[in-house]
Structure 1
């Protein structure tokens, strides 16, 4: 175990009290949850970005029970987006309760819990999302207002020697090009650190690319850009006749979920 994260001296007293109370409630509930977000990121990279919110990751079936527990303790709760996110508020502070990716592409399943690591936060024993799941979830965030590529580069720089690369490849599955793009960028960002990525990983992905180049191109008019940025590819869907890769059965979202989430993002823009 590394040195405890979230040094109490670096937190405002009000925020520290919020963290401690929230974690205490969650731990006593015995409902499985993982700490993620900026605090898991700090654990792996040493980069601290303290905020007034906690990001916790839960299985979809555990979201409502978590909300009920927090509500009983005086938190105001809401289902912010039924396909991936809920929130619990305590004054200006809040908890993001995440059970999927915003693109419907990264449901929190038993594997998240199986490979989580134990850590200490403010003297409390918690479980932190594994680095592989953090990379997987961040890899698809490539919007105009947010790109998590630097986070992924820093995670690889810090954790490459202990990453389960086989499991990481399995996480991306048929969407391996997204991972490949980040690995190529890593070699550009850190020319002297390219050896941190195992040669067999790059060879495997390069071979897949070569096989695609000699295969017959797909004729389906599909846009997978919506998995990376929910707003920047609207013209492809609305004017150019492309199908949305988020839509079931290819994706995991319904047309209603997409419409509601898009409207929410436009409101906040």
Structure 2
């Protein structure tokens, strides 16, 4: 329906973009990437480095984000531990960390809401590039939009990143695959497409008509229809803090549980750490 030659991704990578990194951190990141390459474990680089390659936006980065399949997460931490890093599985449902003094790398295998789990598709469509002179594969634009699209915390909103990736990559995106990634949460994607049109009124033509009309068609079909069963709050998929009142006091079902993404124990662990990040 919306064909894409995956090799065209090479065209959109901004190979000249470099995030500013302190010299000691640069050496740490280079060593990390070389260690992972030597381990043979498949991984992808995301975060500020992937964003810079797609959009040209440079950031002062304090960490390095590497993405692995869930089944490879512990092996990646073990490889870094053998190289002298202090490693911990911080959140067993999505995140590990490897530290050396003040520098650290995030080993990511899902998302905080456990929706955007890393699977084979991330690797099948990953473009090839370089980070700090080390050859790597990068998180695909579709998966970047998918994972960032749900980050709507009070202290962090990644909507601007989504809009910038759309601006840079809209004509290269595999829209069928992107819509499929969002699955039953397609309204989140529609919100970002509408936001794109607001942010860039003169660039609305960059979003192809077919995917936009498909999402609007779904919206029209659902108009006036309520979900069956107990009232549900899907806001917990967007923010781990801002909708706690809905599920703790107002008797809304927590979408993280009812849709099978997280266990009660994982939610409790994730919620208990809120104060640590403020």
**Superposition TM-score, scaled by structure 1 size:** 0.95
In the TM superposition, residue 78 of structure 1 has moved relative to its aligned partner by 0.3
Does structure 1 retain, via aligned residues, the 8 Å contact 2:18–2:58? no
CA distance in 2, matches of 1:244, 1:139: 19
Residue 218 of structure 2 corresponds to: 208
Q: 1:4 aligns with which of 6, 15, 23?
A: 15
Q: How does 1:181-200 map to 2 (within 5 A)?
A: 181-200=191-210
**Superposition TM-score, scaled by structure 2 size:** 0.92
Residue 68 of structure 2 corresponds to: 58
- Across the two proteins, how many residue pairs are aligned to each other? 267
In structure 1, runs of 5+ residues without a counterpart are: none
4+ residue runs of structure 1 moved beyond 6 angstroms?
none
Of residues 216-225 and 41-50 in structure 1, the stretch that sits farther from structure 2 once superposed is: 216-225
Residue aligned with 1:253, SS? coil
Q: Does 1:256 align with 2:229?
A: no
Residue aligned with 2:107, SS? strand
Residue 17 of structure 1 corresponds to: 27
In the TM superposition, residue 217 of structure 1 has moved relative to its aligned partner by 5.0
CA distance in 1, matches of 2:273, 2:132: 34
Q: Does 1:266 align with 2:275?
A: yes
In the TM superposition, residue 214 of structure 1 has moved relative to its aligned partner by 4.9
CA distance in 2, matches of 1:222, 1:81: 25
Does structure 2 retain, via aligned residues, the 8 Å contact 1:101–1:137? yes
CA distance in 1, matches of 2:89, 2:14: 35
In the TM superposition, residue 144 of structure 1 has moved relative to its aligned partner by 0.6
CA RMSD, Structure 1 to Structure 2 (Å)? 1.5
Does structure 2 retain, via aligned residues, the 8 Å contact 1:105–1:251? no
Of residues 32-41 and 259-268 in structure 1, the stretch that sits farther from structure 2 once superposed is: 259-268
Q: 2:231 aligns with which of 218, 221, 227?
A: 221
In the TM superposition, residue 267 of structure 1 has moved relative to its aligned partner by 3.5
Of residues 20-29 and 217-226 in structure 1, the stretch that sits farther from structure 2 once superposed is: 217-226
In the TM superposition, residue 216 of structure 1 has moved relative to its aligned partner by 5.7
In structure 2, runs of 5+ residues without a counterpart are: 1-9
Q: How does 1:129-140 map to 2 (within 5 A)?
A: 129-140=139-150
Instruction: Please give the per-residue CA displacement for 1:128-180, whole angstroms capped at 9, x wherever unaligned.
Output: 00000000000000111111111111000011110111110010111100000
